[in-house]
Structure 1
């Protein structure tokens, strides 16, 4: 499900947008505290942002610049400002499109679909983000995150590599040698306990997602992912 963040201080407009977007199957989060826009963005990790210009504390141009420091997700400005310079400013500050108020829901939905296609779909010109998935458990190797049932935990590079191999080889056993090769180019420099320590850390991260007993130790061989959830 694609996620959309709404940053709009007019409560009626924000609620109207949220209702319309949810009706079409989008997962929507509406910002309430306009001092925490960036932290809400980082927590929700939306595929697209609808962003007003006139906001309390800092304007939409400011927040778009902050988002652009870490993300290239589409940002559509929605504003009552109709001047050409405002639209130019929106684009120069990192926006992808501009919608003037009042607007029709059909126009907003059409522009959202267009931007999502360009960023992630058939018109995308960038490499799509890689996702490794098994039975609802999702690993985002580039983000170094594990997600399950709406919860997300951060993982280290080694932990991500272990999970990726276990998930790709499921239900087969991932041998110790294969795991070591995945983690380190030359396993002769790796202490015998290093892999065990990393496996323990991965198990702890899975427990944070309320997944228990999902990594089985196959004595003398390696490890295997078990679907226990």
Structure 2
């Protein structure tokens, strides 16, 4: 998980922003492929996105709406457009702030720091809400699994099972470890209950094209591939 992801087609400005934020100790990444910004954001899983509005192919508002389908990451729009309509549009599209070009590095850093504090101060040991494995993305907050252009919603137990398997990518997880993860003060999980939940989860994954995603290792447990 990086700190800041910059989506800006002006390479010189992008490098200036990168340098200004890096000086403050932030881990910064600049976009490589402006044709598939959502994929890059998901791969880097940043704490904050700086999004230009005037971009090739699609504008920043479009990419913001696409990212919002997967992540609740804060997004600051940066643009030379300073009319009220664009600012209102940025708010309506889920933007967290708006900076008009040209701007000073000090103002940018101050806004970035304020939003990061506001978003993450409740938990200094913040864990990612997104887990990726190959082409599979799991959003813990939304309790959804995404694969290519399809998604499926998970129950509480299915989400816990999926998370422990995604956290142990390509490693066998024993039935005992999964049961321990599922077993809380409210509900006792038996061997049979686990089997039922695994089968239901498999059917949901099958429905979005993830056939045989969860494999059974006889006498050992389960593994995703």
CA contact (8 A) 2:76 2:98 kept: yes
Query: In the TM superposition, what whole-angstrom CA distance separates every residue of 1:6-51 from its partner, at most 9, and x where no partner exists?
Result: 0111111101001111111111111132101111111001110101
Counterpart position of 1:196: 220
Q: What are structure 1's unaligned runs of at least 5 residues?
A: 132-139, 147-152, 165-174, 206-229
Larger Rg: 1
Counterpart position of 1:161: 164
Distance change >3 Å, CA 197–CA 102, structure 1 → 2: same
Query: In the TM superposition, what whole-angstrom CA distance separates every residue of 1:123-150 from its partner, at most 9, and x where no partner exists?
Result: x8xxx8864xxxxxxxx5x53459xxxx
Q: Secondary structure at the match of 1:99?
A: strand
* Equivalences for residues 1-229 of structure 1 within 5 A: 2-122=2-122, 131=127, 143-144=130-131, 157-158=160-161, 160-161=163-164, 180-183=179-182, 185-188=189-192, 196-198=220-222, 201=223
CA contact (8 A) 2:2 2:44 kept: no
Q: Secondary structure at the match of 1:103?
A: coil
Q: Secondary structure at the match of 2:95?
A: coil
User: Please, what TM-score do these two structures have when normalized by structure 1?
Assistant: 0.63
CA contact (8 A) 2:71 2:130 kept: no
Structure 1 residue 117, shift from structure 2 partner: 1.1
Structure 1 residue 158, shift from structure 2 partner: 3.3
RMSD: 3.7
CA contact (8 A) 2:131 2:166 kept: no
Distance change >3 Å, CA 195–CA 87, structure 1 → 2: farther
Paired residues in the alignment total 176
CA contact (8 A) 2:131 2:137 kept: yes
Structure 1 residue 180, shift from structure 2 partner: 3.4
CA contact (8 A) 2:64 2:93 kept: yes
